[in-house]
Structure 1
Amino acid sequence: MSEKKIVFFDIDGTIYEFGKGTPESTREAMQKLRENGHIVIICTGRPVSSLFPEVLSLPHDGIISGAGTRVEFGDKVLRNELLPNELLMQTVPRLEKNGCWVVLEGPEYLSCRLEDAQGREFFRIVKRLQEEYPERLKEIDPMNDRACKITVRISDMEAFEKLVPELSRAFELARYEAQPYTEMMPKGISKADGIRILLEELEIPLKNTYAFGDGPNDVEMLEYVEYGTAMGNAEKQVLEMAPYRTEGMWEDGIYHALRRYGLI
């Protein structure tokens, strides 16, 4: 059993901000971790198709993407879970009927209603894919799309709330406080479950695990690892449940925490 330490990093709001990039102290800290013999894993809600070069250039040894639906270490894919198309065909029309703008997220591409320009403006990743990586974006087709998760923008919260009990039977829901967005993952799958698979593969004990996050899809991850750390800029629900906290992303929170943990 390995005695190496393994550290899991959420992307958005933790090590990267859309339009601003990554704090230099964070990049240096991630590199120092690897130099010190520890394992660095990007652990994100984004699927592979929306991992841009500036994120992939950060020092790392593996990626848990799609909020735990895909697990990669080196050149090996340990999991690649997709939502059944029958479930997509049942769910997408109901969401759209109740005022949601739906994005199906998969390892090869994202799909949505491309003619809805207003919807694209609300989803910056979709807009960037359309401008820079159009091959990774297509018109939504629930019958045939390969999707590991769903993200919705809610315009009618009351209507969406009525759907929640039914949706919760088939999906894990990660709901945001400050924005009308919800992420929907396959039932029973989360970042924590992806971490479990990787720890079993690498034979690393739970006592050697660390994680950093800021959003609702990080909750299970921060509860699961030994040292679950919320960023200072995290949502209230994350700050309240995380065992540990650090400074905000742009206050060198990653660097300071790794120093306090004695990892760098």
Structure 2
Amino acid sequence: MSDKKIVFFDIDGTLYEFEKGIPDSAVEGLKRLKENGHIIILCTGRPVSSLFPEILCLPHDGIISGAGTRVEFGDKVLRNELLSNELLMQTVPRMEKNGCTAVLEGPEYLSCRMDGDAFDYFRILLRLRDDYPERLKEMELMTDRACKITVAIKDMEAFERMIPELSRAFELARYEDEPYTEMMPKNISKADGIRILLEELEIPLKNTYAFGDGPNDMEMLQYVEYGTAMGNAETQVLETAKYRTEGMWEDGIYHALQRYGLI
């Protein structure tokens, strides 16, 4: 059993902000964490297809992506879970009929209705279209390889009526202040991805730390020993996390790593 400490970092809203980048203090904190021999894992709702160079250049030893659907450490892939195409064909048209704009997210690419309004809701699609067009394609429900679905909701009442049915097949991570929901395979979360990695590395829970800000981080922050909500986190995250730190742009990562004695 390893006595090393392992630290899991959400990306968006924790380490990285779209169009603003990564706080210098967070970069320095991760560098010092690595120098001190601790294990760094990027733990994100993004699939690997939308992890851009400025994120991947951060010091890290492994990646839990797609909100727990894919787990990799070094060159080894420990999990690569995909939604069945039958489930996609059953779910997506019904959501679209009820006013949702869906994006399918997979390890190789994202897919959407390229002539629809997805580009109005998802900035990441614009980045893919402009810089990595090979990672963006027209949605084809019968053949697409997707690990999760993210939906923009235009009719909240209609979506609410679908929740009981959707919850039988998916884990739902719902945002408080924005009309978006992430949909992962049932019983899969960042916490479940962490469990797989800890078993592989034989690291005990007492040596685990995590930082996050959004609804798909809640299970992770509750699962690890030192689950820490960013000061800019959603209210539901702040209320359920065991610990909290300053906001992302208030050097929250760096200060917390210092307080934990990791750097």
Shorter-chain TM-score above 0.5: yes
- Supply the AA of the counterpart residue of 2:27: R
Shift of 1:122: 1.3
Shift of 1:127: 1.0
Give the 4+ runs in structure 1 shifted more than 2 A. Answer: none
User: Hey, what does 2:21 align to over in structure 1?
Assistant: 21
Aligned CA RMSD, in angstroms, stands at 0.5
Partners of 1:121 and 1:131 lie apart in 2 by 15
- Supply the AA of the counterpart residue of 2:251: D
Partners of 2:8 and 2:130 lie apart in 1 by 30
Say whether residues 1:171 and 2:164 are aligned partners: no
Say whether residues 1:6 and 2:6 are aligned partners: yes
- Supply the AA of the counterpart residue of 1:39: I
Partners of 1:234 and 1:194 lie apart in 2 by 21
**Structure 2, unaligned stretches of length 5 or more?**
none
Partners of 2:124 and 2:193 lie apart in 1 by 23
Whether contact under 8 Å (2:25, 2:254) holds in the other structure is yes
Shift of 1:84: 0.5
Q: How many residues align?
A: 263
User: Hey, what does 2:194 align to over in structure 1?
Assistant: 195
- Supply the AA of the counterpart residue of 1:33: L
- Supply the AA of the counterpart residue of 1:53: P
Q: For 1:43-82, what aligned pairs fall within 5 Å after superposition?
A: 43-82=43-82
Q: Share of identical aligned residues, percent?
A: 81
TM-score w.r.t. length of structure 2: 0.99
Q: After superposition, give the CA deviation of every residue in 1:108-153 in whole Å (9 maximum; x if it has no partner).
A: 000000012x320210101110111110000111110000000000
TM-score w.r.t. length of structure 1: 0.99
- Supply the AA of the counterpart residue of 1:224: Y
Say whether residues 1:33 and 2:37 are aligned partners: no
Shift of 1:165: 0.2
Partners of 1:65 and 1:31 lie apart in 2 by 21
User: Hey, what does 1:89 align to over in structure 2?
Assistant: 89
**Structure 1, unaligned stretches of length 5 or more?**
none
Whether contact under 8 Å (2:70, 2:80) holds in the other structure is yes
- Supply the AA of the counterpart residue of 2:63: I
Partners of 2:217 and 2:118 lie apart in 1 by 25
User: Hey, what does 1:216 align to over in structure 2?
Assistant: 215
Local SS of the residue matching 1:83: coil
Partners of 2:32 and 2:152 lie apart in 1 by 38
Local SS of the residue matching 1:234: coil
